[in-house]
Amino acid sequence: MATRNSGIRGLGSAVAVCLGMAAGACAAMAAQRQALTTFSERLEHLEKGAVTQRQANLAMQQRQHWELLSKAIDDPELAEVLDLYEVPLTAQKRRQYLFANALYTNLLCYYRIGNMSREEFFKHARGMFQSPIVRDYWYATGHQRASLTGTVEAELGQLIDDLLLQLDEADTDEWWVVGEPPLDS
């Protein structure tokens, strides 16, 4: 009987050790899970901060772009620096093109920082490109956009090119219904 009690006690000790090890492993896993959750939350916070910083950088860039264009619009000598068009322009036409550039760049910036969807971008562009001056500007700067392959700006430029083709081919005066707005992905 004494041998039997000793075996049961030994078995009980082994079970106790196993239970202790299992409890320790569970505690370690719980601590590891908590650390992983904390790390995941921190990473998400950093990613949101990066998006916010990117949007702030784009807004700052847009502001600087507008300041430079404003100077060129106000000063014909500075406007000559930005005359990258393939045809000679009058000072008036150059100023109009610079303003058209500012309008389009503003629309592009709104899209890039997330203030509008691709569908909204399309609809605003459809209205903006009713102006013959904006269209002339667009056609005069096509060679500049040709080097933007593989970028968001290139995709949106192609969207505008397709829209203008559809507007030119449409046999309706109701321009606001021409073209199918793209689906947001």
Does residue 70 have a pLDDT over 70?
Answer: yes
pLDDT at 7 (0 to 100) = 57
Evaluate if residue 80 carries a pLDDT over 70.
Answer: yes
> What's the pLDDT band for 10 if we cut at 50, 70, 90?
low
CA geometry: angle 16, 17, 21, nearest 5 deg: 115
pLDDT in tens, 22-56: 888 888 888 888 877 777 777 777 777 777 887 78
Averaged confidence pLDDT in the chain: 83
Average pLDDT over residues 149-154: 90
Better pLDDT: 9 or 137: 137
Confidence of residue 8 (pLDDT cuts 50, 70, 90): low
Q: Which residue has the tokens 């005069």?
A: 140
Which residue reads 């903006």 in tokens? 128
Q: How many CA atoms lie within 13 A of 183 on its CB side?
A: 1
Write the pLDDT tens digit of every residue in 100-136: 999 999 999 999 988 999 999 999 999 999 999 999 9
How far apart are the C-alpha atoms of 163 and 55, rounded to whole Å?
Answer: 27
Structure confidence at residue 6 (pLDDT): 59
Q: Determine contact, residues 90/143, Cβ cutoff 8 Å.
A: no
Which pLDDT score, from 0 to 100, does residue 93 have? 92
Query: Residue 177: pLDDT band by 50, 70, 90 thresholds?
Result: low
- Computed from CA positions of residues 104, 107, 113, 119, in that sequence, does the dihedral angle turn out positive or negative? negative
The pLDDT, as a whole number, for residue 5 is 61
